[in-house]
Structure 1
Amino acid sequence: MRIGVIGATGYSGLELIRMLALHPNVKEMNFYSTSSFGEDISEQFPHLNKSVSGTIQKWDVNRIILENDLLFFATPHGVSSELINQLKDTTIQIIDLSGDFRIKDPDIYKFWYKQEHACFEKTSQFTYGISELNKEEIQKSNLIANPGCYPTSVILGVAPLVKAELIEENSIIIDAKSGISGAGKGLSSTSHYMNRNDNLTAYKLYTHQHIPEIEQFLHSINQNQNYISFTPHLIPMTRGILTTIYATAKRKISSEELQEIYKSCYEGSYFVRLRDTIPSTKDVYGSNFCDIYAAYDDRTNRITIISVIDNLIKGAAGQAIQNMNLMLKIPEETGLHFTPLFP
């Protein structure tokens, strides 16, 4: 495969490049940017020296179509749709890491993303790339909307219970905490060292753009599930997401039955690890794993799920490569055998 990475200089783009360099099915990589180009990628990012080289090129739609078989768009929402709209009448495969092609209703997209969409008519052609739960559709698609980082940790954590109709619909409460890299490379007061160091903050209460993405997928597997309560937080670490999910059970359930529901859902899923102890972000740091722990509280009749991922890998670049593998119909773990970093 000849692979093009658009948005190569962002955090997700750099993670894509680092991992694709070791992928056995990748013959050639090309790097593109709309803002920073002309320099060798390893000169701008010395951690890639002796592993990856190649000039960062300016976006040129004609050249990109000729040079690549598959494109990763590691660009912000709004940018992806504008660029993809320029790709006319082509069969090139696309995996978009932005939120531009996840939401299927144009009014919902406009409400939550606060902007117009450059080519919403193409959204219906994109398959939602939650790898473990939408595998067959991904394998048949050439256009993938890669899930967001928070939705990945939430959906993998709670979907088995929603699908089994074991929890009260619309009782789901989500408390998610993310490392600062989730905010991207852009400079802002949010990512300023003085505001992040020794500080824990909630943000975008009731307004986070990942809310409709989570609701849309959960509704697709249980038509009675419509709403969630979601509060994201920023914590003073570079990467990782720990999501705590609370839901009211429809009936009493044994620990054995609860575990069986998860085992049945994720049987054969290489990157989901079901835990009998509470996981932490260090358990998945630098890997494409999602670790999940679920427990039932007989006293309150609530189920609590802990889900952890690396937001830049399973929450972005790693899952994108996993989706590429599914599209190529090769083992989904190909090129992703990264043991988590510890300590």
Structure 2
Amino acid sequence: MSELKKVRVAVVGASGYSGEELVRLLLGHPGVELVAVTSRQYAGRTVGQVFPRFGHWGRARELRFEEPDARRLAELADVVFLALPHGVAAEFARPLLESGRVVIDLSTDFRLRDAAVYEEFYGHAHPAPELLSQAVYGLPELYRERLRGARLVAAPGCYPTSILLPLVPLLRAGLIESDGIVVNSLSGVSGAGRKAELEYLFCECAESLRAYGVPKHRHLSEIEQELSLAAGRRVVIRFTPHLVPVRRGILTTVVARPTAGLGTAGEVFALTGRIEACYRAAYGDEPFVRVLDDKGLPDTKNVVGTNVCEIGWRLDPRTGHVVVVSAEDNLLKGASGQAVQCMNLVCGFAETTGLM
């Protein structure tokens, strides 16, 4: 596309945390006309009434939430974002794709290539297995060329993004072993979505830390799928997510064994150079991945409110391991910001449009 032109966009499930962030980003996107937002709960109310912080946008004072209807959305929009629970998104994706619309799905419905793996991790048959082969995994740093012109985009989850970005380059380069990888992630409470459940109430979360989804968190399915593709062999990791009492942000720590030894100073020096070169080659020109030097490690305060993932790492000769740390905003690079980044590629906009 030679010049910026307005693309008509709709958001289904616009009242959740990811949906709210999508609305904010799209209202300010110079190439987008936000034509529809849906929410059964808020149908009939304006965006500005539901989200007063958007009231300075004239469009937010005019646009009203409506009941979700795939046929109407297909008439109104060129691109439809689905910010819906897994199993529900596919119900909208099928008719929208049949109508020739672009679908960008933030749920897990189209992230997996194998319907049997979906059933194993999500406990029910995939609602639209015939569409899996059409979906492009929406991690631009890995699948940028496939995303250009895609019709069905499966935006990755927040945990997978924080794990895949630091690990995939090292596995592709053969710098770490594919077995024995241990991952621990800490997530803000917004990662659970906007819902009224006892375990996510303020008094239940504040001043408390807890692990959950042990030992088989659902996101393991897409994480191991993409790591296996990077390594060229099946990869199984040990992953423990934790809930921490902050609103947003994810910090992930990965421990892996290098394929080279760390027994001497020379070996440490050589591996340091190879890892630096690996990350520089992978992300040196990436607008939304920031690789830190040896004086800093990622910190969620530096990425919350941005579409950036920070990556830092250390070698540990004492134990013979590589320790890699990443930080991201779970609602932006881990969800809505990344989805808009994908839309920019699909529609031919500059990838950073509306995200800087």
Give the TM bin, normalised by the shorter chain.
over 0.9
Q: Which residue of 2 aligns with 1:340?
A: none
Is this contact kept in 1: 2:71–2:95, CA < 8 A? no
Give 1:225 deviation, angstroms: 4.0
Is this contact kept in 2: 1:4–1:72, CA < 8 A? yes
Task: State whether structure 2 residue 136 is matched by structure 1 residue 127.
Answer: yes
Q: Which residue of 2 aligns with 1:318?
A: 337
Is this contact kept in 1: 2:97–2:103, CA < 8 A? no
Residue type matched to 2:179 in 1? N
Q: Which residue of 1 aligns with 2:349?
A: 330
Q: Judge which range, 7-16 or 40-49, deviates more.
A: 40-49
Task: State whether structure 2 residue 158 is matched by structure 1 residue 158.
Answer: no
Question: 2:235, 2:223 → 1: CA distance?
Answer: 10
Give 1:265 deviation, angstroms: 0.9
Match of 1:18 among 3, 6, 24: 24
Call closer, same or farther: CA 1:18–1:34 in 2, change over 3 Å: same
Q: Which runs of 5+ in 2 are unaligned?
A: 1-6, 262-269
Residue type matched to 1:4 in 2? A
Deviations 1:228-276 (A, max 9, x none): 1100000000000000000001113432221111011113211000102
SS of 1:176's equivalent? strand
Q: Which residue of 2 aligns with 1:341?
A: none
Is this contact kept in 2: 1:287–1:314, CA < 8 A? yes
Deviations 1:285-316 (A, max 9, x none): 10000000012112222111110000000000
Residue type matched to 1:26 in 2? V
Call closer, same or farther: CA 1:88–1:17 in 2, change over 3 Å: closer
Residue type matched to 1:322 in 2? Q
Identity among equivalent positions (%) equals: 39
Question: 1:91, 1:316 → 2: CA distance?
Answer: 24
Q: Judge which range, 102-111 or 82-91, deviates more.
A: 82-91
Question: 1:273, 1:203 → 2: CA distance?
Answer: 29
Give 1:86 deviation, angstroms: 3.5
Question: 2:13, 2:54 → 1: CA distance?
Answer: 16
RMSD: 1.3
Is this contact kept in 2: 1:7–1:13, CA < 8 A? yes
Is this contact kept in 1: 2:166–2:324, CA < 8 A? yes
Give 1:115 deviation, angstroms: 2.3
Q: Judge which range, 115-124 or 308-317, deviates more.
A: 115-124
Residue type matched to 2:248 in 1? R
Match of 1:31 among 23, 34, 37: 37
Q: Judge which range, 173-182 or 200-209, deviates more.
A: 200-209
Residue type matched to 2:289 in 1? V
Q: Which residue of 1 aligns with 2:67?
A: 58
Question: 1:140, 1:44 → 2: CA distance?
Answer: 33
Match of 2:187 among 166, 178, 184: 178
Is this contact kept in 1: 2:260–2:271, CA < 8 A? no
Q: Which residue of 1 aligns with 2:48?
A: 42
Q: Counterparts in 2 of 1:103-252, with a 5 A limit?
A: 103-252=112-261
Residue type matched to 1:310 in 2? D
Question: 2:107, 2:199 → 1: CA distance?
Answer: 20
Deviations 1:201-236 (A, max 9, x none): 000112211001000011112222421110000000
State TM-score, norm by structure 1: 0.95
Is this contact kept in 2: 1:258–1:294, CA < 8 A? no
Give 1:330 deviation, angstroms: 2.2
SS of 2:72's equivalent? helix
Q: Aligned pairs, how many? A: 337
Give 1:50 deviation, angstroms: 1.9
State TM-score, norm by structure 2: 0.92
Q: Which residue of 1 aligns with 2:306?
A: 287
Residue type matched to 1:194 in 2? C
Task: State whether structure 2 residue 318 is matched by structure 1 residue 299.
Answer: yes
Match of 2:286 among 260, 265, 269: 269
Question: 2:13, 2:140 → 1: CA distance?
Answer: 22
Q: Judge which range, 59-68 or 82-91, deviates more.
A: 82-91
Question: 1:332, 1:64 → 2: CA distance?
Answer: 25
Deviations 1:169-227 (A, max 9, x none): 12211000000000001121221222101000000112211001000011112222421
Q: Which residue of 2 aligns with 1:7?
A: 13
